[in-house]
Amino acid sequence: MTNPLYLDYHATTPVDPRVLEAMLPFFSERFGNPHSKQHAWGWDAKDAVEAARAQVAALINASANEIVFTSGASESNNLAIKGIVGAAGGPGRRSPGAGGAHVITVATEHKSVLDVCRGLEREGVEVTVLGVRSDGLVDLDDLERAVTDRTMVVSVMTANNEIGTVQPMAEIGALAHRRGALLHTDAAQGAGKVPIDVRAMQIDLLSLTGHKFYGPKGCGALFVRRTKPRLALAPQIAGGGQENGVRSGTLNVPGIVGLGRAAEICRLEMGEESRRLGALRDRLLDGLRGRLGDVRVNGSLEHRLPHNLHVSFDGIEGEALLMALDGLAVSTGSACASGSQAPSHVLEAIGATGQRAGASIRFGLGRTTSAEEIDFAIDRVAAAVGALRAASIAR
């Protein structure tokens, strides 16, 4: 059986061969534990970890000592939000006051943010979940009104994992800091795809993961801004006190080396790659519109990841469309929610519900996607949608 054409790069990416080459020695001949301080095997592993820490930091204009390695963005999101609230009143944080802590997030966030906030709410933390405009962007006036003197952290995703909308992080960061709150961003989809500058954007905490930008699965990082006094986080994993006591557990050295190399490649090649993928994305949209006419784009087309296209087709059912797309590996939305039969919470938040939401496809283009593959996808989708519309009319 021939594998279908892969256009689901939001779900995961293959490990870049250059990344794999950097990782391989640390599975065998360079297998030391970076926490072994008494011999050369440990020193070698520690040097590799610290080099990767600097590479990850450089991708987002951070300092190496601001990077905490984790198992991925979901863990980083948990550590960031629970960690801030859990350390309330500790060094580097003002007390939330008699009224208790307050957290603000957005309805289109990843479940690893929304579920954390729901859990905190059950523990007595006040949580505000902001809606978004029809283009998927946060309304800054709504955010301004939501922030109070008890707001500890505002968590807004850099780029949405379904509709690809890129939020105005610099404006959000300035607003949060002006009101005395911290800003956390889940940058799992944005890191390595669009420029991120934690200094210019006034970001305090940022989550990322390697497998979204051609690094290995199971390895990610949390950026924690260095402040005076130091920003305090309550650890979510207890044990050996690694990562300056913030995240215990023996470090995944091969994964961290791969994460660092993947970040370095993205930093050097992101501009050219984004321009190429943006052109292919536009070719895909123009081709679908040329063949089918009524194709609706979900989310802002202007403020969007270059490799993302999320579209809806009227008059057909979503599952029937996916089943009809022989030869294409695409999805309707987040891989993390693929087992759920519920409508996408992201599409519901932007008002793209009902039949429109059900007949939606997320295309994720990648590093090896070619113009010929885009034309193949246009042909397959146009044929499938046309056939399903014809069958619907016949009924």
User: What was the pLDDT predicted at 353?
Assistant: 74
Which residues touch 195 (CB under 8 Å, ≥6 apart)?
Answer: 270
The region of weakest confidence among 177-191, 290-304, 324-338, 365-379 is 324-338
User: How far out from the chain centre does Cα 281 lie?
Assistant: 19
**If you write DSSP's letter for every residue of 136-190 in order, what string do you get?**
S---HHHHHHH--TTEEEEE--SB-TTT-BBP-HHHHHHHHHHTT-EEEEE-TTT
Task: Specify whether the backbone of 243 is left (phi greater than 0), alpha (psi in -120 to 50) or beta.
Answer: left
Q: Is the pLDDT of residue 281 over 90?
A: yes
- Cα-based torsion angle of the residue sequence 238, 43, 205, 339 in order, rounded to the nearest 10 degrees: -70
Measure the CA–CA gap between 316 and 335, rounded to whole angstroms: 22
> CB count, 10 Å around CB of 231?
20
Q: How far is CA 279 from the centre of its chain?
A: 22
Cis ω for the linkage preceding 343 (within 30 of 0) = no
- Kindly give, in sequence order, each residue whose CB lies less than 8 Å from that of residue 70, ignoring residues fewer than 6 positions away: 76, 79, 219, 220, 221, 222, 247
One-letter identity of residue 312: S
Give the per-residue pLDDT at 64. Answer: 97
- β-sheet with 102-106: strand ranges across: 67-70, 220-224, 205-209, 182-186, 151-155, 102-106, 126-130
109 DSSP 8-state letter:
S
d(CA 176, CA 47): 36
Residue 140: which of 91, 92, 101, 173 has the closest Cα? 173
Q: What is the pLDDT of residue 228?
A: 74
Say how many C-beta atoms besides its own lie within 10 A of residue 319's C-beta: 12
Helix (H) or strand (E) holding 383: helix 371-394
DSSP 316: S
Contact by Cβ (8 Å): 190, 110: no
Residue 113: name the closest of 158, 180, 144 by CA: 158
Report the chain's mean pLDDT, rounded to a whole number. Answer: 92
Given a cut of 50, whether residue 258 has pLDDT beyond it is yes
Task: Determine the average pLDDT of the residues in 108-132.
Answer: 96
**Domains (range + CATH), the chain:** 5-11+269-394 (3.90.1150.10), 17-264 (3.40.640.10)
Nearest to 35 by CA among 22, 51, 54, 49: 49
Amino acid at 394: A
Q: Is the pLDDT assigned to residue 91 strictly greater than 60?
A: no
pTM (predicted TM-score): 0.94
By annotation, the residues acting in catalysis are 336
Of 92 and 120, the one with more pLDDT: 120
The pLDDT of residue 294 is 84
Query: pLDDT tens, 300-358?
Result: 999 999 999 999 998 788 788 888 998 999 987 655 555 555 678 999 999 887 655 55
Residue pair 134/346 in contact by the 8 Å Cβ criterion? no
Of the ranges 30-34, 46-50, 92-96, 166-170, which one carries the lowest mean pLDDT score? 92-96
Cα separation values, 183 from 49, 85, 154, Å: 27, 13, 5
